[in-house]
Amino acid sequence: MKAKVHVSLKAGVLDPQGKAVGDALGRLGFGEVEGVRVGKTIEIDLADGLSKADAEKRVKDMCEKLLANTVVERYAIEIG
């Protein structure tokens, strides 16, 4: 079973990397870009035998303990 965790900054948190990417896109001629937020995707291979509910619970625990800084980041989990 695979899990994907999408981590991004919460609204209102400054994103200097996103600002730099947005500025660079503007300089490259992509004037339609009004803003960019940069995040990350983490792909996790899980052992067979876990139910989808158990897998989601375990990955949520991973996010809360290590994968996301929940003070400034939010995350979304996909189990498949």
The overall longest dimension of the chain from CA atoms, in Å, is 50
What is the predicted pLDDT for the residue at 61? Answer: 98
The pLDDT mean for the chain works out to 97
**Residues 41, 5, 72, CA angle at the centre, nearest 5°?**
85
Domains and CATH numbers, the chain: 2-79 (3.30.1280.10)
End-to-end CA distance of the chain: 6
pTM: 0.88
Q: What percent of the chain has pLDDT over 70?
A: 100
